């Protein structure tokens, strides 16, 4: 199920990142009192009145004095392209500026739902300062204060009212949904074509040539699949070369709908930080995953190259030690015959359900082999274990005191469960509850 997207747009230094952090409840965006300071993590998730949505902060472009209007226009265009609802942010303290009018003109032509938020309304006097923003033509301005957390209920009520409903996927339960993620020019489109055995996707050496995210259903050896191909950035001039990070949002939306995520890495270029961010989202979303190292045929190799590259992936992606690694070449077809069988395997692990009595036998054996350590004279006691859900496999342990579960012992139990049931390519989750919570 794909969540709708809300973007925050406005000229530099109106407090977009502060508002973004308030809404998602985390400090992902860097906040500093300099225009254009927001970097890197410009996306997140939030929920209001049981409605989930993605947030995108369009402050991620470096601003220089002679480039301000061009950068503002780029931000607004990106928001228009990606968002279902746009929060247009202005500044009560500074008042209405020509740059605000520039943003308003772009947004007004977009026909997207707009919520006008006036930031820095820190006291009653500032409420009067919101009235001049009626002239922008977006209806009643909503006064908020990022610094003091005022007005956010009204703002989010207005946003949620304009959001489209979440759309359910139309595919049957037996279809494996596969998303290919990775930065531009790692060869995602070539891999899709190689898996399908035909040229269904535009392929070019120019990064960002995939035009749209296209669902491609196909069947192989009796198993139905749909490939959710993440679109590359649409380049419309030099300014787009600086905003590649916005393609992360598209990857997030594809991951959300997927059962299995293929993290595609370019063997020639190696691993960069953005690869970790995107893979991390797949992990956090609880998706089955595997690493596909493409263009392996183009790498000069000796007997240690594969082992060294494997170790490099393990070092960079410590949180995804469960994910298999496959070295392929979409161009030459090297090892591609192994890809779909591996997809099937991790998909089965992702949906595996363990009988309660068998699970408890494994947990009991693990405790006998290595009892939980004592903490201030008290020892954790595990009374009972059960699996409560799949995709990803999620287990609840009923214990005497959840606070006694040390992360290292939880990791030990995680490994014991994995080894006993061969959970390959999927995260597993373990929750603790007091024994009394069982009734």
Q: Read off the pLDDT of residues 198-229 as tens digits, 9 standing for 90 and up.
A: 655 444 444 443 434 567 888 888 999 998 86
- The number of distinct structural domains making up the chain is 3
- The annotation status of 266 as a binding-site residue, yes or no, is no
* Residue 96: closest CA among 144, 65, 34, 141: 141
pLDDT at residue 239 greater than cutoff 90: no
In a domain, 298, yes or no: yes
* Residue 332 Rama label (left phi>0; alpha psi -120 to 50; beta): alpha
pLDDT tens for residues 121-143? 887 777 888 888 999 989 999 99
- The annotation status of 182 as a binding-site residue, yes or no, is yes
- The annotation status of 383 as a binding-site residue, yes or no, is no
CA atoms of 379 and 76, how far apart (whole Å)? 56
322 and 242 within one domain: yes
- Concatenating the DSSP letter of every residue in 155-183 gives HHHHHHHHPPPPBPP-S-TTSEEEEEE-S
Residues 6+ apart with CB under 8 A from 426: 287, 288, 289, 322, 346, 349, 350, 352, 392, 393
In a domain, 169, yes or no: no
In a domain, 341, yes or no: yes
In a domain, 171, yes or no: no
- The annotation status of 376 as a binding-site residue, yes or no, is no
pLDDT at residue 149 greater than cutoff 90: no
pLDDT at residue 273 greater than cutoff 80: no
Q: State pTM to two decimals.
A: 0.69
246 and 381 within one domain: no
241 and 157 within one domain: no
- The annotation status of 296 as a binding-site residue, yes or no, is yes
Contact 158, 140 (CB under 8 A): no
Least confident of 14-23, 52-61, 153-162, 193-202: 193-202
Tokens encoding 259: 């059962």
Tell me, what CATH number does 408's domain have? 3.30.300.20
Dihedral over Cα of 349, 355, 357, 360: its sign: positive
Residues 274-294, buried b or exposed e (16+ Cβ, 10 A)?
bbbbbbebbbebbbbbbbbbb
Q: What is the pLDDT of residue 109?
A: 82
Residue 175's pLDDT band (boundaries 50, 70, 90)?
very high
pLDDT at residue 351 greater than cutoff 80: yes
Q: What is the pLDDT of residue 107?
A: 85
Tokens encoding 347: 């998909």
* Residue 120: closest CA among 210, 179, 56, 33: 33
- The annotation status of 382 as a binding-site residue, yes or no, is no
- The annotation status of 211 as a binding-site residue, yes or no, is no
Contact 211, 160 (CB under 8 A): no
Q: Please state, as a whole number, how many other Cβ atoms lie within 10 Å of the Cβ of residue 26.
A: 13
318 and 430 within one domain: no
Mean pLDDT comparison of 205-219, 243-257, 304-318, highest-scoring range:
304-318
Residues 6+ apart with CB under 8 A from 428: 392, 393, 394, 395, 414, 417, 418
pLDDT at residue 53 greater than cutoff 70: yes
- The annotation status of 305 as a binding-site residue, yes or no, is no
- The annotation status of 48 as a binding-site residue, yes or no, is no
361 and 279 within one domain: no
Chosen domain end from 350, 378, 393: 350
- The annotation status of 153 as a binding-site residue, yes or no, is no
- The annotation status of 302 as a binding-site residue, yes or no, is no
346 and 228 within one domain: yes
- The annotation status of 287 as a binding-site residue, yes or no, is no
In a domain, 167, yes or no: no
- The annotation status of 186 as a binding-site residue, yes or no, is yes
CA atoms of 274 and 313, how far apart (whole Å)? 14
Angle (nearest 5°) at CA 257 between 110 and 334: 110
Least confident of 28-37, 134-143, 158-167, 264-273: 28-37
The bridge status of strand 214-220 relative to strand 260-266 is: unpaired
- The annotation status of 66 as a binding-site residue, yes or no, is no
- The annotation status of 414 as a binding-site residue, yes or no, is no
pLDDT at residue 299 greater than cutoff 80: yes
190 and 301 within one domain: yes
Residues 227-258, buried b or exposed e (16+ Cβ, 10 A)?
bbbbbbbebeeebbeebbbbbbbbbbbbbbbb
Residue 13's pLDDT band (boundaries 50, 70, 90)?
confident
pLDDT at residue 236 greater than cutoff 50: no
- The annotation status of 151 as a binding-site residue, yes or no, is no
Q: What is the pLDDT of residue 56?
A: 79
pLDDT at residue 167 greater than cutoff 90: no
Tell me, what CATH number does 227's domain have? 3.40.50.300
360 and 346 within one domain: no
Residue 33's pLDDT band (boundaries 50, 70, 90)?
very low
Q: What is the pLDDT of residue 15?
A: 81
SS3 content of the chain, % helix, strand, coil (to 5): 40, 20, 40
What number is the average pLDDT over the span 417-429?
94
187 and 131 within one domain: no
Q: What is the pLDDT of residue 241?
A: 41
CA atoms of 374 and 5, how far apart (whole Å)? 47
What number is the average pLDDT over the span 376-393?
92
pLDDT at residue 177 greater than cutoff 90: yes
Chosen domain end from 298, 320, 350: 350
CA atoms of 299 and 126, how far apart (whole Å)? 62
How far separated are the first and last CA of the chain, in Å rounded? 32
Note down the domain range covering 391. Answer: 356-438
25 and 142 within one domain: yes
- The annotation status of 123 as a binding-site residue, yes or no, is no
Q: How many helices (H) and strands (E) does the chain have?
A: 12, 17
- The annotation status of 121 as a binding-site residue, yes or no, is yes
In a domain, 141, yes or no: yes
Q: What is the pLDDT of residue 438?
A: 44
Chosen domain end from 290, 316, 350: 350
- The annotation status of 59 as a binding-site residue, yes or no, is yes
pLDDT at residue 38 greater than cutoff 70: no
In a domain, 423, yes or no: yes
- The annotation status of 119 as a binding-site residue, yes or no, is yes
- The annotation status of 185 as a binding-site residue, yes or no, is yes
In a domain, 97, yes or no: yes
pLDDT at residue 427 greater than cutoff 70: yes
421 and 293 within one domain: no
407 and 263 within one domain: no
- The annotation status of 15 as a binding-site residue, yes or no, is yes
């Amino acid at each position: 199920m794909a969540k709708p997207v809300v973007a925050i747009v406005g000229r530099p230094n109106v407090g977009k990142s502060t508002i973004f952090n308030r809404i998602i409840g985390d400090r992902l965006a860097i906040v500093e009192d300099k225009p254009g300071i927001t970097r890197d993590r410009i996306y997140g998730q939030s929920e209001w009145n049981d409605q989930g949505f993605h947030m995108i902060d369009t402050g991620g472009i470096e601003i220089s004095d002679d480039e301000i209007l061009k950068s503002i226009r780029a931000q607004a265009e990106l928001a228009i392209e990606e968002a279902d609802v746009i929060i247009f942010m202005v500044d009560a303290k500074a008042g209405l500026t020509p740059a605000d009018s520039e943003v308003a003109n772009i947004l007004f032509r977009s026909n997207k739902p707009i919520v006008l938020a006036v930031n820095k309304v820190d006291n009653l006097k500032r409420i009067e300062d919101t009235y001049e923003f009626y002239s922008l033509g977006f209806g009643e301005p909503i006064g908020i204060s990022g610094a003091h957390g005022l007005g956010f209920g009204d703002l989010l009520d207005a946003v949620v009212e304009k959001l489209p409903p979440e759309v359910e996927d139309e595919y049957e339960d037996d279809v494996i949904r596969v998303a290919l993620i990775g930065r531009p020019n790692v060869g995602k489109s070539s891999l899709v074509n190689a898996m399908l055995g035909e040229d269904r996707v535009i392929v070019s050496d120019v990064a960002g040539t995939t035009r749209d995210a296209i669902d491609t259903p196909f069947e192989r050896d009796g198993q139905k699949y749909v490939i959710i191909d993440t679109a590359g950035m649409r380049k419309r001039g030099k300014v787009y070369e600086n905003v590649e990070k916005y393609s992360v949002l598209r990857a997030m939306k594809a991951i959300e709908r997927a059962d299995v995520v293929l993290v595609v890495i370019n063997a020639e270029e190696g691993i960069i930080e953005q690869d970790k961010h995107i893979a991390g989202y797949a992990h956090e979303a609880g998706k089955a995953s595997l690493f596909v190292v493409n263009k392996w045929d183009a790498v000069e190799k000796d007997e240690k190259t594969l082992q060294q590259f494997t170790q490099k992936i393990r070092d960079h992606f410590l949180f995804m030690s469960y994910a298999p690694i496959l070295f392929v070449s979409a161009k030459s077809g090297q090892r591609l015959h192994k890809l779909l069988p591996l997809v099937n395997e991790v998909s089965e692990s992702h949906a595996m359900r363990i009988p309660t009595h068998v699970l408890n036998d494994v947990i009991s054996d693990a405790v006998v082999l290595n009892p939980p350590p004592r903490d201030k004279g008290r020892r954790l006691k595990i009374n009972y274990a059960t699996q409560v859900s799949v995709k990803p496999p999620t287990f609840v342990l009923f214990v005497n005191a959840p606070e006694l579960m040390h992360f290292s012992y939880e990791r030990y139990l995680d490994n014991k469960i994995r080894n006993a049931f061969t959970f390959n390519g999927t995260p597993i989750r373990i929750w603790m509850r007091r024994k009394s919570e069982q009734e």
